[in-house]
Structure 1
């Protein structure tokens, strides 16, 4: 009689789910420790080069960098953890014992899929509450050459704005709407593409009535290229007609915005007639990326089935790892195509997931046969 139950028995389900979670966490911790060490070795010189920085700033860098590493390598850790688990189960003939007891390949994988759903839910919450803020803070800090920056949660950095022929670069911006203020600004005034003046501004805040009325600029230093002359003013009025939304919408990075804020920014971009493909693809990918952990047990299942004494366990594990690597390559490629508008945003985020879901299911069915 064919067993049509989705899950195996309770002890088997708990046993395989526990193995999946513990192996995944062990691989994740190991990867993050190694990668964080290598990353810190590469950045420590830049961090310590900033005046006043020391050991505390190195630890601050670690605190900001680790969440991003965890989010990026969690699916890969799930893949390696599942491969390690299946290789051990196969080598100890536990897979054979389960199948002899009437447990199908899909039932063996079912507890892993349920566990990976829980991991995906935790990963999504972690990404939207911790990772986006740490990535934004780290980006602002690194763009400022690891010098001290104001501790504001809505900080943005390295914003470029085109105003007619002029280019405006804002190294730091904080706040929204009427509370938006800028610092470390450089204006490149051009005439028919030729640079006429370079203006360095310490800070800028909106005049009463908003940016349409102009901005109060402080610490203005102007270099006139035609006259080879430098002049300074403690204060000036400028940027008339430039609303704060032009700065906040000039740089919308999905990795630095949480799910709901990004959705609001997409609506604002649409209202302003701006291109939204990159933001939409990133918005959909915020869901697809954590769910990629569901694929890893399926792609790694090729290492579970087949006789261990056939001598092909290592080969099957290598094939499973290659399938996982292929998914990450295709996912990054598809997202890049979505960012430039070649793929529709929804397709760019979800096509790799659906494609490798079908590939994994096909390989599983063939392996079971």
Structure 2
């Protein structure tokens, strides 16, 4: 019995090379087709801006392609695995390997090692290129593909939580002691029950608190309204709780996002969705390692039995089911229904067990 984890060096290299080449070919074809369709839909918006031309179209392509590669790389690995294993099965190469005493896990091992390399490259590519492209494209789309103005340092619709109280500032400008809040609304709650609402035209820091201008207090219990030219409230609420910028996980690398989450936690902002996005930066690229395991069902069973196509469809179905479960878990994490770790790693762990179970049951 062959007790080595990998088959012979020659077989392992042959399978890994075949798998990588076919996965890259599938990825190139997918990106080319999707980029063409995407450009057809966006070219009208880009060229609508005065002064935009071919250079802006190519700029859009250069920003969009990295995002398409990051999104469809695991799917390309799935299809590359299916094509590789189905071809090996069709040519009776899998039968020859098993006749030589090579187990199902040893047949899949070179593909999983190669996919681990793909996952590492994908993580580095996402960190160095995709995040920057996403941030640049988001800023460009916000101005409808026109000239991107310099940052004004003004934020809008900023929510802050302090204890049970919720605070909404329609506009935040300045920093530290020069911070200015406009359109301020304070929802005073106790045990989750709303007791009063304070609205103010503006607010500025004042010796550890905030001085409101043209404030209006509405008491829910007494249904009374009290107006005041000035009012001092929010003791202990720091200026950086309002001035921290809005964070998009796709636009920051792992370490920057981790620091942003720490700052937002200090400021009392909710970070559950961001933490799920943080861990998904690792579990997302690692999903490439799952694809050979989920598609392995296409490798086993005699090709002449007529079940090869059915097995390939089952492998593709398992891969699609993983992507659906992964997106669903992230959505639940964004809503706060799932803890961040479960949202990011739950589907990965579940389909790792499913793939291993299917492989063991179909090995013979």
TM-score band w.r.t. shorter chain: 0.7 to 0.9
Q: Distance in 1 between matches of 2:268 and 2:282?
A: 26
Q: Judge conservation of contact 1:24–1:77 (CA < 8 Å) in 2.
A: yes
Q: Distance in 2 between matches of 1:326 and 1:158?
A: 39
Cross-structure match for 2:289: 294
Residue 160 in structure 1 maps to residue 157 in structure 2: yes
Cross-structure match for 1:26: 25
Q: RMSD of the alignment, in Å?
A: 3.3
CA displacement, residues 239-291 of structure 1 (integer Å, 9 cap, x when unaligned): xx994662434x21111111000000111011111111011101110000000
In the TM superposition, residue 4 of structure 1 has moved relative to its aligned partner by: 1.2
Q: Distance in 2 between matches of 1:277 and 1:351?
A: 15
Mark the CA change 1:356 to 1:78 in structure 2 (over 3 Å): closer, same or farther. Answer: same
Mark the CA change 1:156 to 1:63 in structure 2 (over 3 Å): closer, same or farther. Answer: farther
In the TM superposition, residue 311 of structure 1 has moved relative to its aligned partner by: 0.6
Q: Distance in 2 between matches of 1:213 and 1:146?
A: 39
Q: How does 1:1-369 map to 2 (within 5 A)?
A: 2-150=1-149, 160-162=157-159, 167-168=170-171, 243=239, 246-249=242-245, 251-369=246-364
In the TM superposition, residue 161 of structure 1 has moved relative to its aligned partner by: 2.2
Cross-structure match for 1:201: none
Aligned residues: 319
Q: Which runs of 5+ in 1 are unaligned?
A: 182-186, 198-211, 215-240
Q: TM-score, normalised by structure 2?
A: 0.79
Q: Distance in 2 between matches of 1:44 and 1:242?
A: 45
In the TM superposition, residue 165 of structure 1 has moved relative to its aligned partner by: 6.1
Q: TM-score, normalised by structure 1?
A: 0.78
In the TM superposition, residue 162 of structure 1 has moved relative to its aligned partner by: 5.0
In the TM superposition, residue 151 of structure 1 has moved relative to its aligned partner by: 7.5
Mark the CA change 1:298 to 1:11 in structure 2 (over 3 Å): closer, same or farther. Answer: same
Q: Distance in 1 between matches of 2:153 and 2:56?
A: 20
Q: Distance in 2 between matches of 1:157 and 1:316?
A: 56
Q: Distance in 2 between matches of 1:142 and 1:84?
A: 38
Q: Which runs of 5+ in 2 are unaligned?
A: 161-166, 187-195, 202-208, 212-236
In the TM superposition, residue 51 of structure 1 has moved relative to its aligned partner by: 1.7
Mark the CA change 1:73 to 1:169 in structure 2 (over 3 Å): closer, same or farther. Answer: farther
Q: Distance in 1 between matches of 2:155 and 2:68?
A: 23
Q: Judge conservation of contact 1:109–1:297 (CA < 8 Å) in 2.
A: yes
In the TM superposition, residue 156 of structure 1 has moved relative to its aligned partner by: 9.4
Mark the CA change 1:117 to 1:267 in structure 2 (over 3 Å): closer, same or farther. Answer: same
Cross-structure match for 1:222: none
Mark the CA change 1:166 to 1:115 in structure 2 (over 3 Å): closer, same or farther. Answer: closer
Q: Judge conservation of contact 1:24–1:78 (CA < 8 Å) in 2.
A: yes
In the TM superposition, residue 160 of structure 1 has moved relative to its aligned partner by: 3.2
